[in-house]
Amino acid sequence: MNKGFTLIETIVVISIISLLIGMSIFSLTSFKSNATLGKNVSKIKSLLEEARYESFSGKNDTTYGIKVLSTSTISFVGSSYASNTGSTVYALDGAVIENISLSGSSTEIVFKKNTGGADSAGTFKVRMLSDNSARTIRVTSGGVISDE
């Protein structure tokens, strides 16, 4: 009677284990990419909501906005990025912003004082560099911010 494993049995077991490890690594990479995309989108939406709130509340009797660039967003104080009196940069983590489609061919979203409406409505896409997964952020003229 044979008391050991054959070479074929050993190769089959090693192949199955390798396949399972490969699938696990792919799943973890996909999970990490989705989590990072969610973090980027949440941060951008948070910056937009903050600018909207500060404009709506009339803080410092001025307007607030966000400039959308390909690898970052910039929160600013004032009616435009060019005339801002203070700004904060948020650099994206492993992602880019593309397909910026805001009214007036602008890359800036400025929220109106006391109403919170946006002067540039439209969409832009946040896309991960690692796997091309993406989500679109939408800002309406009424200042409503959503993602899809």
CATH of range 7-147; options 3.55.40.10, 3.40.50.300, 3.90.1150.10, 3.40.50.11810: 3.55.40.10
From CA 95, how far away is CA 70, in angstroms rounded?
9
Contacts of 129 (CB under 8 A, 6+ apart): 94, 95, 96
Give the pLDDT confidence score for residue 144 in this predicted structure.
Answer: 95
Give the pLDDT confidence score for residue 53 in this predicted structure.
Answer: 96
Q: Which amino acid is at 23?
A: M
pLDDT digits (tens, 9 = 90+) for 54-88: 999 988 899 999 999 999 999 999 988 888 777 88
Tell me which DSSP letter residue 26 carries.
Answer: H
* pLDDT tens-place values along the chain, 148 residues long: 567 778 888 899 999 999 998 888 877 778 888 899 999 999 999 999 999 999 999 888 999 999 999 999 999 999 888 887 778 899 999 999 999 999 987 899 999 998 999 999 999 999 999 889 999 999 999 999 999 8
Give the pLDDT confidence score for residue 110 in this predicted structure.
Answer: 94
Q: With residue 22 as reference, give the H or E element that holds it.
A: helix 7-56
Tell me which DSSP letter residue 105 carries.
Answer: G
Contacts of 36 (CB under 8 A, 6+ apart): 93, 94, 95, 128
**Lookup result for tokens 């690692």:** 130
Domain spans of the chain, in order of start:
7-147
